[in-house]
Amino acid sequence: MSGLVLLEIIFTIFQSIILFVIISKAVRLIVEGKNVFLPFFFMLAMTSYLLSNLYWIAYDFLKPDTRMPIACNEIGEGAMILLLSAGLESLLKDKKKVPGEIAFAFLFIGANIASWIAWSGEWLQDILFGIPYVYFFWILIRGIRSRGVLARKELWFAAVMSGSVLVLQIPLLFLEGEPLKFVTMVCLAVMFALMVWFGVKSFRSKDFFVTSMFFLWTELAMFLSPEPYYSLAFGANIIVLPMMFMSMKRELAHDLC
């Protein structure tokens, strides 16, 4: 087992502990609260994420240095995304299907899927497990726009920044040497700058949709980053989990569902 895998396992164990605490708190919310739908689906989503982590750790210990033929942990992550989407959907007051939003969700996640395929070569798996992300992303855009949590300028800023990360991924496929290093650094700088921006916005607004968008961005950044930047995105992914729980709890307090 390599040092990098060991580091990932340590991160995953730490994240699992955080998830366990969040799940326990969500169970308490279900037992004590009047509205059980959102905490129940949040709890199920976090349980899926925890199980996905446990699957990954168990696989690394039981079958070290072998690639999974079918990644069951990806099913767990897909479950988490779908269950979060179901929970968030219940908060959506305006479910209007704006073609522009749907197209952007399809194009953006589609481009992400293409880059995953370019890296792994697993066509079927990446397309299949990418579809929930399209739905999740659309729900988040709809929620943020209909609630007016972010200003129009801010939405454009996020769209341009996230789009440029994907555009910068294209030359990475054929560049070599110094240009490759330069473009990689620019791409990572844009990606992490947007992550920090989402982090600040989530902290300020404490809105469940914005926090979930921050979470989604940390996930996508993890998939697009090489080590050691992967660990950095992983760290941000761990930090966003308690933030998501707090914003979900805030939704219950406001009794918006």
Partner 1 sequence: MIYAENVLICIAVPLVITLLFTKDGARRMSSSFLAGMIVCIVSAYISGFVQAVSGFSAEDTSIFLSPMIEECMKLLSMLFCVYVFNPSDDEIQLCAVGVGAGFATFENCCFILSSGAPLFTYVMVRGAAVGVMHIVTLVALAKGMLLLKAYKAFSLAGIAGVLSLSVTVHGLYNLLVSKPGVSSYIGYVMPMLCAIVLYMINGKTGRYREN
Identify the residue among 7, 14, 18, 37 touching partner 1 (CB under 8 A): 37
Q: Where are the alpha helices (DSSP H) in the chain?
A: 3-32, 37-62, 72-89, 99-120, 123-147, 152-172, 177-205, 208-224, 229-254
The secondary element (H helix, E strand) that includes residue 176 is none
Q: How many CB atoms lie within 10 A of CB 222?
A: 16
CB of 78 to partner 1, least distance (A): 5
Identify the residue among 40, 42, 108, 215 touching partner 1 (CB under 8 A): 40
CB of 53 to partner 1, least distance (A): 10
Integer Cα distance of 12 and 4 in angstroms: 12
Beta-carbon contacts of residue 207 (< 8 Å; ≥ 6 apart): 144, 147, 149, 247
Identify the residue among 7, 9, 21, 30 touching partner 1 (CB under 8 A): 30
CB of 68 to partner 1, least distance (A): 7
Which CB sits closer to partner 1, 47 or 169? Answer: 47
The radius of gyration of the chain's CA atoms, rounded to the nearest angstrom, is 18
Beta-carbon contacts of residue 57 (< 8 Å; ≥ 6 apart): 9, 12, 13, 16
Identify the residue among 135, 157, 192, 223 touching partner 1 (CB under 8 A): 135
Q: Which of residues 43-102 bind partner 1 (CB under 8 A)?
A: 44-45, 47-48, 51-52, 54-55, 58-59, 61-62, 68-70, 72-73, 75-76, 78-83, 85-86, 89-90
- What are the CA-CA distances from residue 34 to residues 208, 245, 257 (Å)? 19, 17, 11
* CB of 231 closer than 8 Å to CB of 238: no
* CB of 15 closer than 8 Å to CB of 238: yes
Q: Which of residues 166-205 bind partner 1 (CB under 8 A)?
A: none
Integer Cα distance of 64 and 9 in angstroms: 12
Q: Is 15 one of the binding residues for partner 1 (CB under 8 A)?
A: no
Q: Is 209 one of the binding residues for partner 1 (CB under 8 A)?
A: no
Q: Is 123 one of the binding residues for partner 1 (CB under 8 A)?
A: no
Q: How many CB atoms lie within 10 A of CB 151?
A: 9
Which CB sits closer to partner 1, 196 or 257? Answer: 257
Q: Is 130 one of the binding residues for partner 1 (CB under 8 A)?
A: no
CB of 27 to partner 1, least distance (A): 7
Q: Which residues bind partner 1 (CB under 8 A)?
A: 27, 30-31, 34, 36-37, 40-41, 44-45, 47-48, 51-52, 54-55, 58-59, 61-62, 68-70, 72-73, 75-76, 78-83, 85-86, 89-90, 132, 135, 257
